[in-house]
Structure 1
């Protein structure tokens, strides 16, 4: 399939490179790579050789995204906090309303876990005159991931930034998403190429906001602070925090205990400090892992779990914040 063909090496990761100097003119400027601020920048030669002017694909992305009402990023500063698991749970919860058309775009290029979590490991992508057709976990839940384009789930994706950015652009402009009420975008940890690409490519279509996922311990909160700083610098509205694995719920006795102790107050204390709302706490239920491995909706399988209630409460609050309640 031509989907994995390498995009042009001249595609640049962002209007302003991640490690740019303070007064970087941006890659669209005619001074890119030539201004005094560019001296000593590791991107200087790339910027000087790259194309200048607005990206011609941005209008195509904007046109495709007109049919998507809400676009929500799921971010985390650190890996291992359950961000993709939360993305899957959030999407199942949104799609529980049969009238809510939901989509997941997985831009974790090197670690695509969404196909497994959504029960779509054996799915593939089909093309038509109108673009790529996403896979469907259910009638109102569309999914797109690089995982569908790999010959094996064990295949490593060893790509540099420009090729990652090219695929993300294809996901935005070439996928036949149809009319969506919510597009949930699952991102890799950190603040790197994939995040910068999403901001650049959706700058005209608009991002409604980001949900930041963390666990209670300080080592995770520390990296989420960097993610918060990233969102504020690039102008992404922060909808709120979700504290994942917030206590352990015994499936038998329903008793709850702390696994990751919030020694510094957890997400709630950090949210109060930084003026960010805590959308909810999702407790650690071992059955979440089981349903994820089987590609099932935890909410459908275990509707009485406190974790299910947490997901539904978060969805309700999300709708309120976006004016959709």
Structure 2
């Protein structure tokens, strides 16, 4: 089908129209007898398309059917169809770089610490790379898209990202964390965060009963990895959220408790915790996302009202880097 919504078929040839659908397999037809003369027999309005229609013909003599009722019916059916979301490969191949005015296929690296301002009284979109950089904006936009989030924040390491999360809480707040987590995270939780007066509780996150008993009125964050690093234990995020939402809603949610998932091992290619109900997803991009042991980076991805939290985007990122 062309942009003019015309279907070209060879007059007198055998043409197969492949309609991919859970309900419909393969619909074959002979052009002169069916498509041209009895096109109403196709009843395309009753088909539920997933968004892909393939028409295969041997092109020798073309007949323009752009005004045909068949074309109108197919077009209407496709417009009403539920088109599936693009795959990770499609997102990566067709990502729109809205930050580069020249639409470069390879994102330019803005290797600068500071940016020149229009004047002493006017500010441009960027001033200092720690608080904003066009190259980083492209990366953050892509990662948010991959994770189905509304905002991504990139840091110099995964531990810097987790440290930024810890600054959302203060004296007397509680964090319930898994007892099998990455060594750097473990040291942050056991040796650094408690110095700020934050109480850290540990629980086996593969046991819903332990998580439920650990969460209390002062709990502000549930912190887990799935799978864990390095033992590869699995926390069933969907079931854990059901417990959190249904069994502990008055305790956890009334106190603004968040669920943070360290998704460094799986990456958005294999798991998207935000779709399962997580509030914050953290990636140590040094690992799966980078994949070549040649850089260090950390990412936080948030969704919904959390993406507009001024503390995370306008304060903690510029200050903590």
TM-score by length of 1: 0.31
Q: Greater relative contact order: 1 or 2 (C-alpha under 8 angstroms, separation 6 or more)?
A: 1
Q: Who wins on radius of gyration, i.e. which is larger?
A: 2
TM-score by length of 2: 0.31
